[in-house]
Amino acid sequence: MSWVAQLARPDILALKVYEHAAWRPQLERLHANELPWSPAGADPRTEVNRYPEPQPRALIERLAALYGVAADSVLVGRGSDEAIDLLCRAFCRAGQDAVLLCPPTFGMYSVSARIQGARVLTAPLSMEHGFALDVPQLLERCTPDTKLVFLCSPNNPTGNLLEEQAMLRIARALAGRAIVVVDEAYVEFAGRPSLARLLGELPNLALLRTLSKAYGLAGARCGALLADPEVIRLLRKIIPPYAIAKLTLDAVLCRLAPEALAEGKEQLATVLAERARLTRALAGLPRVRRVWPSDSNFILAEFDDAGAALEQGCRAGLLVRDARGYPGLGRALRITIGTAQQNSRLLEAWS
């Protein structure tokens, strides 16, 4: 029995896959109970009256090239959130298995785990060491029933990269025992390469990627899981058959065209420059107690009165994220890097 089969839920392994309508685009479709006409006013080239291709091949190949992995290591879904949910459903038996998180971190890991009925274990990041991983603590708290370990790097909401060797140490220590899922939603802003180059070396390593952040497609809802092909095949059994809408597919392929990617690099450079400017300016404001270093497209800052700062931003027409609900961040706000004009307005509101 393979290591994936040993970790996965037995009922998912035995699941009979839903048989979606066959994808044979060279034939005219009279097999999927669709209307033969597009809605009035719709661009006929979009064919929104037709079901889209399940796991679109053109998109998978484009993302595989973008991320530097084989096509059979890619699963596409509705943002990273869908992959998080699928992992919890495929590997965690309700009331028996657990996932491990490192708070403060992205909230959907615990939400998906709890919806599935999995226990949530924690190994908090070390605030005094810049929100670093505590590897011995994490491995100690990882029980035999722990199937998934979620690491976010750069981390949300703190913005920092996790130390690469620490993440690899965890993955190696848990080989055959748990899947280590590294969320790289913000890695394009970090100036460090993805861990995708190590997927072949560490089969229990899985990566979450998204087009919502650096590629400006948050509204399109498209992300990917990069993982061992056996993990991808398992999750394809339970992902809805038409996870990527045709309009999303068209928008993503357009955004990943060479000329659009070149424009995206210029936008990324602007975000990084504004991040540096905003970091310096925030550190000079008297009401700001602390600004944490950021490797993402946002900044976490601690205020004397975070509630007042939040309201002042709203009065200036700008909404930042209240981070006070995260453990240890009772005075913090998370500020997404906006345009130069927006950033200047925010600084003026807080001056």
Per-residue pLDDT reduced to its tens digit, 244-279: 999 999 999 999 999 999 999 999 999 999 999 999
- Indicate the pLDDT class of residue 171, thresholds 50, 70 and 90: very high
Spatial contact of 221 and 248, defined as CB atoms under 8 Å apart: yes
Q: 337: closest CA among 278, 257, 267, 269?
A: 278
Fold annotation for 3-256: Aspartate Aminotransferase; domain 2 (3.40.640)
Q: Which helix (H) or strand (E) holds 321?
A: strand 321-322
pTM of the full structure: 0.95
List pLDDT tens digits, range 33-51: 989 988 888 787 788 899 9
Alpha-carbon torsion (179, 215, 241, 59), positive or negative: negative
Alpha-carbon torsion (182, 339, 255, 220), positive or negative: positive
**What DSSP state is assigned to residue 126?**
B
| Domain boundaries 259-350, corresponding CATH code | 3.90.1150.10
Q: Buried b vs exposed e over 36-50: b needs ≥16 C-beta within 10 Å?
A: eeeeeeeeeeeeeeb
User: How far apart are the C-alpha atoms of 171 and 167, rounded to whole Å?
Assistant: 6
Map tokens 């796991």 to a residue: 55
Poorest-confidence range of 22-31, 180-189, 227-236?
22-31
User: How far apart are the C-alpha atoms of 146 and 311, rounded to whole Å?
Assistant: 41
Domain boundaries, the chain: 3-256, 259-350
Q: State both tokens at 215.
A: 């590629």
Same fold, 3-256 and 259-350: no
Residues in the chain: 351
Map tokens 């291709």 to a residue: 53
Edge-first strand listing for the sheet containing 179-183: 74-77, 223-226, 205-210, 179-183, 146-152, 98-101, 119-122
Spatial contact of 130 and 293, defined as CB atoms under 8 Å apart: yes
